[in-house]
Amino acid sequence: MEKGSIRDAIASRRSIRRFTKEPVDAGELVSILQVAFFAPAPHHTIPWRFAVVVDEAAKRRLAESMAARWREDMRRDGIDPKRSSVLSDKSIQKLTNAPALILACLVTQGLDTYPDRRRQDAELGMALLSLGAAIQNIMLAAAEAGYGSCWIAAPIFAPEEARESLQLPSEWIPQALLIIGRPDPCYIPRSRPDLDLDSFVSVI
């Protein structure tokens, strides 16, 4: 990507769901992850951790464990088993075909503790917002390095399965997954809609 404005850099980030077979360079991956730690965080903490998954067997364990949880949720929702199987198999394929996965996890280390639920939930909310900022940094850095990425929500619906499949520490709470690789040149991202900001922004 050519050097330009911050706006151009942000606009260059697209959700890419298909990749070439080229592996993600280890040195570039480290550089990409470093920018996560520039994200703002509550109380000068670092309330997130990242598990980088490039091993094929580990990718499959992670994908299949979350898919199993999803199938069970769909069964409880009364979704047809055939459709459930198609959806979960498609999810497994998307994750296992990606050259690299980054599992983003929340930790509560360093966060303030309150006796009431309202303030404790707010404290956790600050950490979650911080994790989102860190993930955005990673995706922007990946785009600058010529990699595509896509934010996958599956871990927030299956945190125990995700954590156990990779044998991560018990205090790591999986929240999101990034798939990363060189974009498949045949893949065309969805067009961004034209937005009327007046419908989304209130100036007071």
Per-residue pLDDT, 1? 43
Beta carbons within 8 Å of 89's beta carbon, 6+ residues apart: 67
Q: Is the pLDDT of residue 117 over 60?
A: yes
Q: Do 47 and 109 contact (CB within 8 A), yes or no?
A: yes
70 vs 190, more confident: 70
| DSSP-derived pairing of the beta strands 48-53 and 100-106 | antiparallel
Q: Is the model's pLDDT at 57 over the cut of 80?
A: yes
| pLDDT at position 21 over 60 | yes
Quote the mean pLDDT of the chain: 94
Ramachandran class of 78: left when φ > 0, alpha when ψ lies in -120 to 50, beta otherwise: left
Residue 39 C-alpha from the chain's centroid: 15
- How far is residue 198's CA from residue 203's CA, in Å, rounded to a whole number? 9
Cα separation, 190 vs 99, whole angstroms? 22
Place 3 in a pLDDT band, splitting at 50, 70 and 90.
low
